[in-house]
Amino acid sequence: MFSEKDIERYSRHIILQEIGVEGQMKICNAKVLIIGAGGLGSPVALYLAAAGVGTIGIADMDNVDLSNLQRQVIHFTDDIGKPKVQSAAEKIKKLNPNVKVETYNEKITSENILDLVSKYDFVVDGTDNFASKFLINDACVFAKKPFSHGGILRFIGQSMTIIPGETACYRCVFKSPPPPGSVPTCASAGILGAIAGMLGTIQAAEVLKYITGVGYLLTNRILYFDAKLMEFRNIEVKKNDKCPICGTNPVIRELKDEEEIVCELKVN
């Protein structure tokens, strides 16, 4: 049961007819893993903590750098040099001490990702490279864990939600990583900081919708936006029977680590 302080903290959720006390209890009992504590992971972590998600896992091997602060809003100037997972955990606990935070200051690889995702109800892809995105997709398909994909570059963002076994997965749409050097990086092409906030907030909303069962998820469609024009559109996608991992005759039967290519984006 909620205390009086809990009811006050989550009152704006509780008075929503679609959520109510029951929905808030689902949120407080949920376990969500965020892979990447950067531009996307920052707003996701803050909004999920504010919402009262019971356990938030954060996986990232990097330390806070000065160049991160333009968009990674969970980290402050005083955090420079500190592990991102530590910095993020400190902000989460200050925002909502009710939330349990699990940190993983390590590189996520084919060797450890299955053990990690198996502990959580939902996974958020907050990474900035193809290798991690395909690895997260494959691990979640194997573990049958729902997850939110997100990608950003310059003024553009895209996201989709995957429910393994039910909807199109990431490989149904993007079969394999592009050739090395064929995709620009955030470091070379740049990114408007607020774009990360826009997309991360969308991903956080998808998590809360999944947990509470409210509304329609971004399944079998990619939400694409161009903030320079402030235009949004949905791109319909379908589960691919020939998908190498979730199709009728899958050829991917074990996880492997792809070569890293930083900052993916593909526009249809």
Q: Answer whether residue 257 is part of any domain.
A: no
Quick check: is 244 in a domain?
Answer: no
**37-46 b/e (C-beta count within 10 Å ≥ 16 → b):** bbbbbbbbbb
Q: What is the pLDDT of residue 258?
A: 81
Q: What number of helices (H) and strands (E) belong to the chain?
A: 10, 8
Integer Cα distance of 265 and 150 in angstroms: 9
SS3 131: helix
3-state secondary structure 155-224: CEEEEEEECCCCCCCHHHHCCCCCCCCCCCCHHHHCECHHHHHHHHHHHHHHHHHHHHCCCCCCCCEEEE
- Residue 75 parent element (H or E): none
β-strands 100-104, 122-125 pairing? unpaired
Number of domains within the chain: 1
Main-chain phi, psi angles of 152, to 5 degrees: -140, 150
Yes or no: say if 108 and 59 are a contact pair by the CB < 8 Å rule: yes
Measure Cα distances from 211 to 125, 186, 204, 241 in Å: 17, 32, 11, 28
Span 205-228, average pLDDT: 98
pTM for the whole structure: 0.94
pLDDT of residue 1: 81
Q: What is the CATH number of the domain that holds 16?
A: 3.40.50.720
**Coil vs helix vs strand at 48:** helix
Mean pLDDT across the stretch 4-22?
98
42-91 per-position pLDDT tens digit: 999 999 999 999 999 999 999 999 999 999 999 999 999 999 999 999 99
Identify whether the C-beta of residue 200 lies closer than 8 Å to the C-beta of residue 41.
yes
Sign of torsion over alpha carbons 106, 109, 115, 116 = positive
Task: Please list, in sequence order, all residues whose beta carbon lies within 8 angstroms of the beta carbon of residue 48, skipping any fewer than 6 positions away.
Answer: 32, 34, 56, 204, 207, 208
Residue 217 resides in a domain = yes
Asked, for residue 254, whether it belongs to a domain, the answer is: no
**How many Å separate Cα 227 from the centre of its chain?**
20
3-state secondary structure of 109: coil
Query: Domain for residue 23, yes or no?
Result: yes
In a domain, 267, yes or no: no
Give the Å distances, CA to CA, from 213 to 18, 26, 52, 58, 248. 9, 10, 16, 24, 28
Asked if residue 243 is part of any domain, the answer here is no
Q: What is the pLDDT of residues 146-187, one digit of tens each?
A: 999 999 999 999 999 999 999 999 999 998 877 666 566 565
The pLDDT-based confidence of 259 (bands split at 50, 70, 90) is confident
The whole domain housing 97 covers 4-236
User: Within a domain: residue 53?
Assistant: yes
| SS3 (DSSP) at 13 | helix
**Mean pLDDT, the chain, as a whole number?**
94
